[in-house]
Amino acid sequence: MIPLREEILRRKHLLYVNHPDLSVDNVLYRLAATPDWPWLQYRAAVKKLGILQFGEPLKLGFKSTIQKIDILVLGSVARASRHGWGMLSDSGALENPLVVTLVADEQVLEPEFLPLDLLEPHDLPVDIIVTPTRIIRVAEKVPKPSFGVSSDLVTPEILHNFPCLKKFT
């Protein structure tokens, strides 16, 4: 993910990135490169400490602080090559973005190993799966969830470990 994030900044696009430590209150940051950034600053900005140093913390749940996101890139544990779904709860700020995941070749499974009937209402289907050797455009379009965090799935233990979720429950 780091090389992709770097390239997004080098091309002067806005980059929204979650902080790796989801137990902090501000988990979403906006990064925007300035023309005077030296070459190595791009790499530093997309790492854990760089996100805090160069990123602008955003208030989740308020669309006014988050511009429209055209492409959402996320990591995945496994994806089915035909319908491509995974799990993500969003902040409600996404308006039908193109959803892309970066995975290893071994993480792309045949649909019979990850059937659509395992799909939960909060799972986020992807549109494109990128591996080191191929790009898979998911043919079977599955509707994306129309809501953010599923409060009925958030337990007291989860709230304790991820206090940022309190804003959504």
- pLDDT attached to residue 130: 87
* Cα gap 32→69, rounded to integer Å: 14
- Which amino acid makes up residue 110? E
**Buried b or exposed e, range 131-147, using 16+ CB within 10 angstroms:** beeeebebeeebebbee
How buried is residue 5: exposed, middle or buried, by Cβ count under 10 Å (0-12/13-18/19+)?
Answer: buried
Confidence (pTM): 0.64
Q: Are 36 and 89 in contact (CB under 8 A)?
A: no
pLDDT 10s digit of each residue in the chain, 169 long?
788 888 889 988 888 887 766 656 667 788 888 888 998 999 999 888 898 899 988 776 555 567 777 677 777 665 544 433 332 334 445 666 788 888 888 888 887 887 778 777 777 788 888 888 999 998 888 877 766 667 777 788 878 877 777 766 6
Per the structure block, which two tokens stand in for 115? 């059937």
